[in-house]
Amino acid sequence: MWIHTVLLRNRFFWHINIPSNATWSWRKILQSRESCRSFFITQIGNGSSTSLWYDYWLPDGKRLIDLLPLRILTSTGLSWNSKVSHIIHDGGWNFPNIPALQPTWNTITFTPLLDREDQCLCRLHPSGAFTIKSAWDFLRAKKQVNNLYHLFWFKGHIPRHSFIMWLASIGRLRTMDRLYGRVTSTTCILCGLHMETHDHLFFECYYTNLVWMSICHKANMHWPRQPWTQLLQWTASYYKQRNDSEHMIARLLLSTTVYFLWFERNNRVFTNTAQTYQTTVETIFQQIRTHIAHMDIACTFPARIRAIWNLQPD
C-alpha cells in the first residue's frame, strides 16, 4: 500500500492506491487513515480555511463533530459549512453561548492570529513538517539495536555478501542440521566428516578453516580461533571503526568469505562441482580487491593496505 499526502489549502487529503493483489480490506485501509489523522493538527491563524466542525483544530487534536451530539452543535445556529473564522470577532474568540460546549471552549487557551493563514502541522516532527522518517519511527516497533549491524550494513558493503552473512549470523542458512528429517544425509559436504551446522561451516570444518586461515594470512589480518557466534561478537567489537579502511576491509573479508564458502557448499550440493580451497581463497581475494579498487576512497588507503591488495600506487 502506498499512501500519498497532498497538502492542499492547508488540508491533508489521503490518496490510497491498492495493488491488484492486495489482501487489505477497505475497513483496514480506512482504519489506518483514521489513525494517521492523529498525526496532524491545524494551527489556527485567521481560521478562514479550517472547518469549525470537521477539522482537527482543537488543542487535544480532536474535532467538534466527534465530541458532542448533533443536536447540541445545531443549537449554535451555525451551518455545517462554518469556518473557525465564524467564531472569531474583533481579533478574539466569540464562542456560541451553549452550556454543553463551554468545557470545550475552556480548553482553547490560544488566541487567533489574524495576520496568518491556518497551518496544518505534523505532530511527529518538531518542525511541524511531515517526513517519511518521522512517520516510520512512530509506526515501527522499536527494538534494541543489534550490536552486529555494522558488520553487515556499512559504507562499502557488498549487499549479497552481507545478506548471506546476516542469515548465517542468525542461524537461518538452510544447513543440513536444519533439514534433518528431509534429507538422507546431514554430513558436511565440504569435509565429509561432521554434521553440517553453522558453527561447523564457519569455520570448524577442515575445508573452511583452511580457507579462513589462508585468506587471513593473505590479507595480513588476524582473527582469534573461536566458535562462530563468538567470532562475530569479537569482530563487531574489534573492527568497529566506521571510517577506518582496515576495519572496513576486515568486515568485507569476513562477509565475502562466508558468502563464497556458502557458494562453494551449494555448488557441491546442487551441481556436484568442487574447487580447491586455494581457488576459493583466490576468488575471495580478487573479489575484495576489485571491489575496494573501485571505491572513491581507494586513493586514501595507506601504502601498507595498497601493497597487500596489489592496488595501484597513488
Task: State which of residues 165, 190, 215, 249 lies at the interface with Zn ion (CB under 5 A).
Answer: 190
Question: Could you give the CA distance from residue 246 to residue 215 in angstroms, rounded to a whole number?
Answer: 15
Task: State which of residues 205, 215, 219, 231 lies at the interface with Zn ion (CB under 5 A).
Answer: 205
Give the nearest distance from C-beta 193 to Zn ion in angstroms.
6
Give the nearest distance from C-beta 255 to Zn ion in angstroms.
20
Beta bridge partners of 11: 8
Is the Cβ–Cβ distance between 68 and 36 less than 8 Å? Answer: no
Looking at the Cβ atoms of 84 and 211, the one nearer to Zn ion is: 211
- The values of phi and psi at residue 89, to 5°, are -145, 130
Q: Which of these ranges, 63-71, 104-112, 204-212, 283-291, lies near Zn ion under the rule CB under 5 A? A: 204-212
Looking at the Cβ atoms of 187 and 229, the one nearer to Zn ion is: 187
Task: State which of residues 52, 124, 165, 188 lies at the interface with Zn ion (CB under 5 A).
Answer: 188
Interface with Zn ion, residue 261, by CB under 5 A: no
Is the Cβ–Cβ distance between 119 and 48 less than 8 Å? Answer: no
Give the nearest distance from C-beta 268 to Zn ion in angstroms.
11
Q: Which of these ranges, 77-85, 149-157, 200-208, 221-229, lies near Zn ion under the rule CB under 5 A? A: 200-208
Looking at the Cβ atoms of 159 and 227, the one nearer to Zn ion is: 227
Q: Of 238, 242, 218, which is closest to residue 226 (Cα–Cα)?
A: 238
Task: State which of residues 191, 269, 295, 305 lies at the interface with Zn ion (CB under 5 A).
Answer: 191
Q: Which of these ranges, 46-54, 134-142, 180-188, 256-264, lies near Zn ion under the rule CB under 5 A? A: 180-188
Please tell me what DSSP assigns to residue 60: T
**Long-range Cβ contact pairs of 60-64 (< 8 A, separation 24 or more):** 60/107, 61/123, 64/104
Is the Cβ–Cβ distance between 128 and 122 less than 8 Å? Answer: yes
Cell of residue 180, nine digits: 534433518
Give the nearest distance from C-beta 211 to Zn ion in angstroms.
11
Question: Could you give the CA distance from residue 166 to residue 148 in angstroms, rounded to a whole number?
Answer: 9
Looking at the Cβ atoms of 188 and 236, the one nearer to Zn ion is: 188
Cell of residue 228, nine digits: 562462530
Cell 569482530 locates to 235
Looking at the Cβ atoms of 83 and 200, the one nearer to Zn ion is: 200
Looking at the Cβ atoms of 58 and 231, the one nearer to Zn ion is: 231
Is the Cβ–Cβ distance between 170 and 163 less than 8 Å? Answer: no
Looking at the Cβ atoms of 208 and 255, the one nearer to Zn ion is: 208
Quick one: CA dihedral 243, 245, 246, 252, positive or negative? positive
Q: Which of these ranges, 20-28, 30-38, 186-194, 252-260, lies near Zn ion under the rule CB under 5 A? A: 186-194
Looking at the Cβ atoms of 201 and 250, the one nearer to Zn ion is: 201
Residue 193 C-beta-side C-alpha neighbours within 13 Å? 8
State the residues that interact with Zn ion by CB under 5 A.
188, 190-191, 205
